[in-house]
Chains A and B, each alone.
Chain A
């Protein structure tokens, strides 16, 4: 009970931090809106369903807004139409990268693993740059995002297949297969960039990772893609703890190791791909955030997974605010790496990581 309380406490605290970061971030931009006003705009937008009616084939849900604070139309427009989609998308991407990073570090029993270790990001890069260079019609209007997502999943699945023999996937093989496939896909991306001509700028911008041009439908689809696997991952948190003892021990403690690894790899790949597909390659969030949270809350994944995910959301929203608040916008991937790498080196020197 004490433990469950700790999990809830930390999660609630970090959710509050996330709300605060979102509120402040939505006020920052060419037009400054004070946090109080942003909060009022956000509260005005809260609606609860009050009734359902069937008209023809469409299901009509009538909603009632709970609050009606006096705010200007301009403020509402800026917050709701311009800034909030991007901020929420940043939150979802940060959430997904940190969650997937936590899982990967657990599977690989290595605090230096990151979400793209099995080739997800490189696969997404090939998909995205390939689409930019030679756009093909992808149904459902998925376009760039769809190509990136498909590339990510294919790469992860390919690495998994390469590393699997007789139904067993040793993590060392998985790691090395991931490195090799990433190198190969990196070469493919370089080749595609050479062929990109006019669109090289767009391709490079994607590769650097950014959240520009986010829209509400994108937010909705990525929330869905991240939320469902994340709930399942939470249910596997204890299994992941036991896996940290080593696969041999985990098996003798009743964990079906290979099946668990498959589930965890598949779900965390989907979560990572959902993030990378909309935001491009954003480094260090999935590496640093789980690492720092492990120092704060300990290695138990039942508390580490939700808290790392929430902290990742806040971290990316904050860094993206920094990225877009300068005179010229910088891709957020540059900001996370520029902040994250020195901090990581500081940790490395301080904690002296002796074992990998």
Chain B
């Protein structure tokens, strides 16, 4: 008998993914909100849902917790489709914190957290010993026990969010869904909340969080799922998902992706949207000022080259990140003739030479080769700008650099006519 039963109803596979979203599609009226969303979440991991506003992050979470029935596809939690379970059964498996709750009646914090026990109680059950323990533990863990007896409505946005997290913890579920857990939080509380989620995940919970802040997501999540326009654009390790290309595709925005200090998580810096500046610029300089000048110019769509820089310098590394042409020499080796000639050629071909940071004597001919020379203000933070002072004309702040380049005369047709062309416009 049992054999037949097993065939009909296989036991859930305890080693499969905790959460399996397959070919999910959701429409609201005529509007397609999700189409063909596929991803899964391994047990004991924290997966971040990232993507622009309206990408469908909240919709994905709603289908996972069973409050929204998808038009197509399935969501399996622990091997079994959510749609086949009762609300109570889902409530014992999946807990969620909403983006916010408007409670117009004055429940205390403790009463609110106690509601997290609802899926564990029958209609006529009273809260037992283990229920009270679960509530106290949850309040302690989310550090809301200090104001356990205050009315929920008297709390600040950040405190409310932690109470809702405590409510979800009181559910004692293997899966935790967080919708913008850090949206109303200051940086300290945001980090503390995500550290808490990490420690819950270390204790064996599986968590999915919709997170707006890409850098927090990159730092705390094991994997990311990048959603845009209701479809998965990329999924995997944060460093694979968060690249300039995927982000441009998903957010329609220019970003600079580097590495967060002290970790290998990607650091996403949005670049202000500007008119594309169709100019060729050669950057001379080293260190952070030169690296920042490169990023700023690339962000404005200039064609940028750099050199001569020592290999391993911040400017050389940034150039590699940004796919800029760089003339490098080995560190501490000094500028050799071949390198200088290549750099001079680049400088001569460029519409402008930008000097940022310390420039040694070896680079002086490169600067001199530029038709227009601009200096970048360095706030004196990285070496004296003694060398270029005689070489550059105007000095501009970093933020104004793309604008300054954009005001240069348009590119001339032939390289040979360049000096004439420029003098004629003057």
- On whether the beta carbons of B119 and A244 are closer than 8 Å, the reply is no
Chain A: minimal CB distance from B191 (Å): 26
The distance from the CB of A232 to the nearest CB of chain B, in whole angstroms, is 10
User: Which residue of A has the minimal Cβ distance to B89?
Assistant: A254
CB A255 to nearest CB in B, in angstroms, measures: 6
Q: Tell me the B83-107 residues at the A interface (CB within 8 Å).
A: 86-92, 94-96, 98, 101-107
The verdict on A248 contacting chain B, using a C-beta distance below 8 Å, is yes
- Structural contact, A255 and B87, CB atoms closer than 8 A: yes
| Contact between chains at B94 and A109 (CB < 8 Å) | no
Contact A252 B107 (CB under 8 A): no
Is A245 an interface residue, CB under 8 A from the partner? yes
- Residue B15 at the A interface, CB < 8 A? no
**CB atoms of A245 and B65 under 8 A apart:** no
Q: Contact flags (1/0) for B110-125 with A, using CB distance below 8 Å? A: 0110011011010110
Number of interface residues of B (CB under 8 A): 34
Contact B103 A244 (CB under 8 A): yes
User: How many angstroms from the CA of A309 to the CA of B90 in the assembled complex?
Assistant: 34
Query: Shortest distance in angstroms between B269's beta carbon and chain A's nearest beta carbon?
Result: 35
Judge whether A241 and B86 touch: CB under 8 Å.
Answer: no
Give A246's nearest chain B residue, CB to CB. Answer: B101
Which chain B residues lie closer than 8 Å to A235 at the CB level? 123-124
Q: B371 to chain A: which residues have CB within 8 Å?
A: none
Q: Is the beta-carbon distance between B66 and A299 smaller than 8 angstroms?
A: no
| Distance of A247 Cα from B121 Cα, bound (Å) | 19
User: What's the interface size class on A, roughly?
Assistant: 20 to 34
- Does B126 interact with chain A (Cβ within 8 Å)? yes
Indicate whether A241 sits within 8 Å of B115 (C-beta atoms), given known contacts A111-B104, A253-B171, A300-B107.
yes
What's the minimum C-beta distance from B114 to chain A, rounded to whole angstroms?
Answer: 9
Pick the residue among A241, A251, A355 that contacts B102 (CB under 8 A). A355
Tell me the smallest distance from the CB of A211 to a CB of chain B, in Å: 32
Main secondary structure of the interface of A (DSSP, over half): loop
How does the 8 Å CB contact mask read for A242-280 relative to B, with 1 for contact and 0 for none?
A: 101110110111111100000000000000000000000
In the complex the two chains form, is A252's CB within 8 Å of B86's CB? no
Instruction: Give chain B residues whose Cβ lies under 8 Å from the Cβ of A145.
Output: none
> What's the Cα separation between A298 and B89 when bound, in Å?
30
**Using Cβ atoms and an 8 Å threshold, which residues of chain A touch B219?**
none
A4 to B126, CA, bound (A): 9
Q: What's the A-B contact tally at a CB cutoff of 8 Å?
A: 80
CB distance from A260 to the nearest CB of B (A): 10
Given A298-B106, A300-B107, check contact A254 B119 (CB 8 Å). Answer: yes
**Shortest distance between the CB of B233 and any CB in chain A (Å):** 27
* Contact present for B62 and A248 (CB under 8 Å): yes
Q: Of A110, A248, A254, A294, which is within 8 A of B98 by CB?
A: A248
User: What are the interface flags for A209-243 relative to B under an 8 Å C-beta threshold, 1 for contact and 0 otherwise?
Assistant: 00000000000000000000000000110110110
Shortest CB distance A289–B (Å): 16
Give the distance to chain B from A294, nearest Cβ to Cβ, in Å.
Answer: 7
Bound form: Cα–Cα A124–B106 in Å: 34
Restricting to B118-159, which residues have a CB under 8 Å from any CB of A? 118-119, 121, 123-124, 126
Are B67 and A248 in contact (CB-based, < 8 A)?
A: yes
B103 to chain A, nearest CB (A): 7
What's the least CB distance linking A306 to chain B, in Å? 16
Q: Of all chain B residues, which has the CB nearest A295? A: B106
Smallest distance from the beta carbon of B40 to chain A beta carbons, Å? 21
* Given A235-B123, A238-B121, A248-B98: A253 and B104 interface contact (C-beta under 8 Å): no
Instruction: Provide the residues of chain B in CB contact with A254, threshold 8 Å.
Output: 86-92, 118-119
Contact indicator A252/B104 (Cβ below 8 Å): no
Instruction: List 13 A-B residue pairs with CB atoms under 8 Å apart, sorted by A's residue number.
Output: A110-B104, A235-B123, A248-B62, A251-B87, A252-B67, A252-B95, A253-B118, A253-B119, A254-B89, A255-B87, A257-B87, A298-B108, A299-B107
The 4 closest A-B pairs by CB, nearest first: A254-B91, A254-B119, A299-B105, A254-B88
Excluding A238-B123, A294-B105, 20 further A-B contacts by CB distance (< 8 Å) are A109-B105, A110-B104, A111-B104, A111-B105, A235-B123, A242-B115, A246-B101, A252-B87, A252-B94, A253-B116, A253-B171, A254-B86, A254-B87, A254-B91, A254-B119, A255-B87, A298-B106, A298-B107, A298-B108, A355-B104
A residues touching B (Cβ–Cβ < 8 Å)? 4, 109-111, 235-236, 238-239, 241-242, 244-246, 248-249, 251-257, 294, 298-300, 355-356
